[in-house]
């Protein structure tokens, strides 16, 4: 299992990446909505997002809705490719299991 991307492999980051991968290219989701979907605390979600952002897998865009700051999240092209590679590697491991 050493071929699995360690950035994605952590349970929280895998859940985040899988959720973001369901979005169409160019789409994003707000931080509170992703937090609600995943049932994660804001601190835990932020920590995992930072690691994914540092790896270049997640784009974090901050803007305002009226006077309220809003953070939007999406997978980068590299993040989408890394997730596809991850799932392909996992499938190949599982293909050998009987």
Q: Give the global pTM.
A: 0.91
Q: Identify which of 52, 48, 98, 96 has the alpha carbon closest to the alpha carbon of residue 78.
A: 52
- pLDDT tens, position by position, for the chain (98 residues)? 568 999 999 999 999 999 999 999 999 999 999 999 999 999 999 999 999 999 999 999 999 989 999 999 999 999 999 999 999 999 998 886 65
- Three-class DSSP category at 68: strand
Q: What pLDDT shows up at residue 96?
A: 62
Burial of 12 per CB tally in 10 Å (0-12, 13-18, 19+) = middle
| Domains detected in the chain | 6-88 (1.10.10.10)
């Amino acid at each position: 299992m050493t071929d699995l991307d360690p950035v994605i492999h952590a349970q929280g980051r895998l859940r985040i990446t899988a959720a973001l991968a369901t979005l169409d290219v160019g789409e994003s989701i707000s931080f509170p909505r992703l937090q609600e979907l995943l049932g994660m605390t804001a601190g835990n979600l932020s920590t995992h997002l930072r690691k994914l952002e540092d790896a270049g897998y997640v784009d974090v865009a901050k803007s305002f809705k009226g006077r309220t700051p809003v953070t939007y999240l999406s997978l980068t092209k590299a993040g989408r490719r890394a997730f596809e590679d991850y799932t392909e590697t996992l499938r190949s491991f599982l293909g050998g299991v009987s």
